[in-house]
Structure 1
Amino acid sequence: MVRSLKPQLDPLRVIRAAEYVRMSTDHQKYSILNQSALIHVFAETNGMEIVATYADPGKSGLTLRSRPGLSQLLTDIVAAKIDFEVVLVYDVSRWGRFQDADESAHYEFICRRAGIRVIYCAEQFGSDDHPLASVLKALKRAMAGEFSRELSVKVAAGKARIASLGYRVGGIAGYGLRRQVLEDGHARGMLLRKGQLKYLQTDRVTLVPGPAEEIAIVGRIYRDYIYLRKGELQIARALNAEGHSFFGKAWSRHLVRTILTNEKYIGVNVLGRTIQRLATPNVNNPPENWTRFEGAFVPLVGRDLFEAAARVRLFNVKNYTEAELLQALAVALKREGKLSVEIIEADPDLPSASTFGHRFGGVTGAYERLGFVVAPRYRFYDIERTLTKMKREILNSLIGLLRMRGTECSLAPHSVVNLKGQLGFEVRICRHQDPRAYAHTGWKIAYRWNHRSSHVLTVRMALGNEVIKDFLLMPRSEIAELPRFLEATCDEQVARFRCRDLPAVALEIAGIKQVT
């Protein structure tokens, strides 16, 4: 039932409002139509007229990037492209189930700063004028995020249990294999094509051998690798030359290696090699935490072949000395006349580019040892020293501005400005990338993140990296949702986070602290 707590609005005129609705799953209570109907009742009761609708059907509330409706709402508000003064939302969970409650508060603050109030129709506090609104709202935000966290734990436990029984959980079948439904966990049913899901919750999925041609190629890969001592790249090239494809794609060294190392080809079901929960980055899971079931599927290769391939791979691993690495690289330089990561990866006689990177502090370090002059785009060391000095100055200035506003703060390791409580702002300098390196101008923003901070202050440099273009103040989770390379032509993706200068940044941070 929609509560009728009325916000302090002018009764002599109709208030123009926008509604925001979101549904992550097909649930009767939170269906789009039900939310909208209840919001319309609230609007009519409180003298409002809904003039715009922003919707995210079938969208998770964990992040902003996956929700074009809310993103568009915030973009329109920041750009002042609106003709309403209130945003109506069914409840706090529909605004989002962000794992960082400060992120939810930040997006609401963006609206309030622009003079737009956010009202949660089904909540006790309704509007911000209620004395306990801030406390209740913070509690509701935390509860909304906790619901997703608890659900994630339950889902993960359920998947692990199903995998421990030998059934397939998620993921593509792989080359030479197909997914098949087991009705009630026993009777074999239909084969699932790419993108298809089982219909009933009581059904299970297993892996079965695929087309005979694919099975033959899997066996050939093992034989060529073990008996003919062909390398992964050599095998991939031979398959491509003969017109064989990997589901329409060209074979690569990585794809061949996957077939040689994945235990599903010997019938072992493995779950949990990596973990990615609640829209966080993918992380490797230690083998002792994997869920394994021997004999879950019909094997395509024998265990003796699989173990022989592992022994060959171990034998092929060589600990190169620096002199050997440089000598092999010099041969490639003499033959090609130049060096690049692509040349290194394509040469079967050279180790991977990452090997050179680990031994010489980057492939450019190996190039310089050979006297090879790298392209100008690699010459950023002088700029990097200048930007490091600039970061120190920005940190000191920001702390000074915050303290002038009466905000307690301190400088923590990794360029993080900590505020009293749970807020931490990491300062990050982003060089404007040379178009010759990426074919477009722009910034590498999402290259890493710091778990010690709740927000990231990205300082974007203008072309030439001598002056600052602007500042982006973003919740930490949004960093992971951005593309790895943000093109200058796609600047609208971060428009809602932009601040023109450091005083504006300090004002924004103070506002976030006040909301939280």
Structure 2
Amino acid sequence: MTIGSEETSRRRRGAMYVRMSTDHQKYSTENQADAIREYAERFAIDIVRTYTDSGKSGLSIDGREALQSLIADVQSGAADFTTILVLDVTRWGRFQDADESAYYEYMCRRAGIDVHYVAEQFENDGSPVSTIVKGVKRAMAGEYSRELSGKVFAGQCRLIEMGFRQGGPAGFGLRRVLLDEQRNPKGELKRGEHKSLQTDRVVLVAGPEDEVVIVKWIYKAFTEEGLRESEIAARLNQRSVKTDLGRNWTRGVVHGILTNEKYIGNNVFNRRSFKLKKRRVENDPDMWVRADGVFEAIIEPRHFYTAQGIIRERNRKFTDTDMLTRLKALHERQGWLSGILIDETDDMPSSAVYAYRFGGLTQAYKLIGYDPGRDLTFIADNRHIRQMHPEIIADVLNQIGQLGGKIRVDEQTDFLIVNEEIKASLVISRCGQSASGKNRWQIRFDAGLMPDITIVVRMAANNRDVFDYYLIPAIDIETPKIRLADNNHLALDAYRFDDLESFFLMAERADLPVAA
């Protein structure tokens, strides 16, 4: 055997795992990879596979598709390597439970694959010293995230008290305006747009006059004319007035306008918590962070608080027995229940009241003997999605027409033909859940009559609201079906958009200058 062949036989096959978090830490994935390659060369390891999670938090394994794929390869026996190289303990993850981090490493070790942390000062050889040091490092990584979360939350609270908006759409009748660090206006933020500089801030201002007039009318109709939310919604729909999302009005949308303090200029934060990727919870009012009178009010406080008094009195008159009786009657009429259905039904307390009174909607359902089965929800979701499809098509036709483009619906294929040049297919994907409770969307493409672009409308978890959009060109469709998660690899998420503005702009016609 030659010396060269002996050296080759001694070399090990390794896989590289790199992760770039969302908190802009010091090391990029490229720098991590450089350090790992240097280590691999020094210890005669050939990198045969690379797993990369870019822009992924290390708080949990959710959304980290590369790490999930790595673990799956290890468990299935498909791994063609004997060593996994990671920059350090924190790149493996900042799990809040240090045992979770250890568990994933143990799964690898049980399959005969070692995990090396190339930038750590200890050798991960299973010795008591390395075990102790790793345990400390893992606990420190989790504690760092907890401390960072506390600092971020404190910063958000301070900005709220200073009168700055912290996320979320403006809402009907309001608009978001970007301010520089001297509080000078820089312009209005459209839906889906975000600030680009950390020193910039966002405030709410009154929207177009026609929307402000409608908001004022809603309060007047509710407090003075005695109209219910559903009656107000019906009148707005009769007048062909659309919401800020371009949709028809519902009882729930009207109720949201009647109960949100931003319409009297108050800035309220921390109504709900979702810290460190844990369970989302509704906080009690004494935990809310607020600053009153910091935005331009479009509703007088007396009208707002009159509306709150009416709503509270309406809910207060229901005893527990009354509420459960009405809930049971609604179930008998409809055959199914949901928070949306409850909110859209007259003479019923809101779903939030049921959740507060009985410790959650599920508990209220149990008290009337209702099991919210998946099949019933699926039927209701599909019914709603079928109703949405023509509404979205109509909106696309209208928007492109306003931009000077031409669009028609092909009767044989249902494709949207834009300017007689582009064939587009519209697919609405309902949100489902995996066995582990994670959001998942399945997209089926028309493999027989492949359009130029497939417009994918992803529904939110409630399957009532739109979550986002994907504009996927035919050239990048390799399979007739794909599965999406909340976060996907760049090859897919490069086509993700918050609205259809990009698609509309494809159809826009511009006047060309005429040569003299």
TM class, shorter-length: 0.5 to 0.7
Paired position in structure 1 for 2:337: 341
Paired position in structure 2 for 1:418: none
Q: Distance in 1 between matches of 2:193 and 2:253?
A: 23
Structure 1 residues 126-168: Cα deviation after superposition (integer angstroms, max 9, x where no partner) = 3324551101111110111111111111111111111111122
Paired position in structure 1 for 2:195: 198
Paired amino acid for 1:136: V
Pairwise mapping of residues 59-78 of structure 1 onto structure 2 (< 5 A)? 59-78=56-75
**Contact kept in structure 1, 2:441 and 2:484, CA below 8 Å:** no
The alignment of Structure 1 onto Structure 2 pairs a total of residues equal to 382
Does 2:114 correspond to 1:117?
yes
Question: How far 1:325 moved relative to its partner?
Answer: 6.5
* Structure 2: stretches of 5+ with no match in the other structure: 1-6, 381-433, 443-480, 486-516
Instruction: Give the direction of change, closer, same or farther, for the CA distance of 1:350–1:203 in structure 2 (3 Å limit).
Output: closer
Pairwise mapping of residues 141-156 of structure 1 onto structure 2 (< 5 A)? 141-156=138-153
Paired amino acid for 2:259: T
**Contact kept in structure 1, 2:61 and 2:68, CA below 8 Å:** yes
Paired amino acid for 2:305: E
Q: Which has the higher contact order (CA 8 A, sep 6+)?
A: 1
Q: Distance in 1 between matches of 2:61 and 2:122?
A: 24
Among 427, 431, 437, the alignment partner of 1:482 is: 437
* Structure 1: stretches of 5+ with no match in the other structure: 1-9, 368-373, 379-432, 441-478, 494-516
Question: How far 1:323 moved relative to its partner?
Answer: 7.8
**Contact kept in structure 2, 1:65 and 1:481, CA below 8 Å:** no
Paired position in structure 1 for 2:87: 90
Does 2:293 correspond to 1:295?
yes
**Contact kept in structure 1, 2:265 and 2:297, CA below 8 Å:** yes
Q: Distance in 2 between matches of 1:241 and 1:163?
A: 38
Paired amino acid for 1:483: K
**Contact kept in structure 2, 1:185 and 1:204, CA below 8 Å:** no
Instruction: Give the direction of change, closer, same or farther, for the CA distance of 1:480–1:141 in structure 2 (3 Å limit).
Output: farther
Among 283, 286, 295, the alignment partner of 2:284 is: 286
Question: How far 1:238 moved relative to its partner?
Answer: 3.0
Q: Distance in 1 between matches of 2:62 and 2:220?
A: 46
Q: Distance in 1 between matches of 2:161 and 2:175?
A: 20
Q: Distance in 2 between matches of 1:311 and 1:436?
A: 36
Instruction: Give the direction of change, closer, same or farther, for the CA distance of 1:148–1:218 in structure 2 (3 Å limit).
Output: same
Pairwise mapping of residues 327-476 of structure 1 onto structure 2 (< 5 A)? 339-341=335-337, 346-351=344-349, 358=358, 362=364, 366=368, 438=378
Paired position in structure 2 for 1:413: none
Q: Distance in 2 between matches of 1:339 and 1:29?
A: 55
Question: How far 1:296 moved relative to its partner?
Answer: 0.9
- TM-score of the pair, normalised by structure 1: 0.65
**Contact kept in structure 1, 2:59 and 2:276, CA below 8 Å:** yes
Paired position in structure 2 for 1:266: 264
Q: Distance in 2 between matches of 1:25 and 1:44?
A: 30
Q: Distance in 2 between matches of 1:201 and 1:491?
A: 34
SS at match of 2:257: helix
SS at match of 1:127: coil
Structure 1 residues 16-43: Cα deviation after superposition (integer angstroms, max 9, x where no partner) = 1000000114747310100000000000
Paired position in structure 1 for 2:29: 32
Instruction: Give the direction of change, closer, same or farther, for the CA distance of 1:105–1:52 in structure 2 (3 Å limit).
Output: same
- TM-score of the pair, normalised by structure 2: 0.65
Does 2:280 correspond to 1:275?
no
Structure 1 residues 176-201: Cα deviation after superposition (integer angstroms, max 9, x where no partner) = 11111111142111111223222322
Instruction: Give the direction of change, closer, same or farther, for the CA distance of 1:47–1:156 in structure 2 (3 Å limit).
Output: same
Instruction: Give the direction of change, closer, same or farther, for the CA distance of 1:311–1:128 in structure 2 (3 Å limit).
Output: same
Instruction: Give the direction of change, closer, same or farther, for the CA distance of 1:140–1:333 in structure 2 (3 Å limit).
Output: closer
SS at match of 2:14: strand
Q: Distance in 2 between matches of 1:326 and 1:366?
A: 7
Among 53, 56, 75, the alignment partner of 2:53 is: 56
Q: Distance in 2 between matches of 1:120 and 1:30?
A: 15
**Contact kept in structure 2, 1:32 and 1:57, CA below 8 Å:** yes
Q: Which segment is superposed worse, 108-117 or 89-98?
A: 108-117
Q: Which segment is superposed worse, 151-160 or 288-297?
A: 288-297
Q: Distance in 1 between matches of 2:315 and 2:274?
A: 30
**Contact kept in structure 2, 1:24 and 1:57, CA below 8 Å:** yes
Q: Distance in 1 between matches of 2:164 and 2:128?
A: 53
Question: How far 1:221 moved relative to its partner?
Answer: 1.4
Does 2:88 correspond to 1:133?
no
Instruction: Give the direction of change, closer, same or farther, for the CA distance of 1:99–1:326 in structure 2 (3 Å limit).
Output: closer
Provide the aligned C-alpha RMSD in A.
Answer: 3.8
Paired position in structure 1 for 2:43: 46
Question: How far 1:116 moved relative to its partner?
Answer: 1.2
**Contact kept in structure 1, 2:440 and 2:484, CA below 8 Å:** no
Question: How far 1:208 moved relative to its partner?
Answer: 0.9
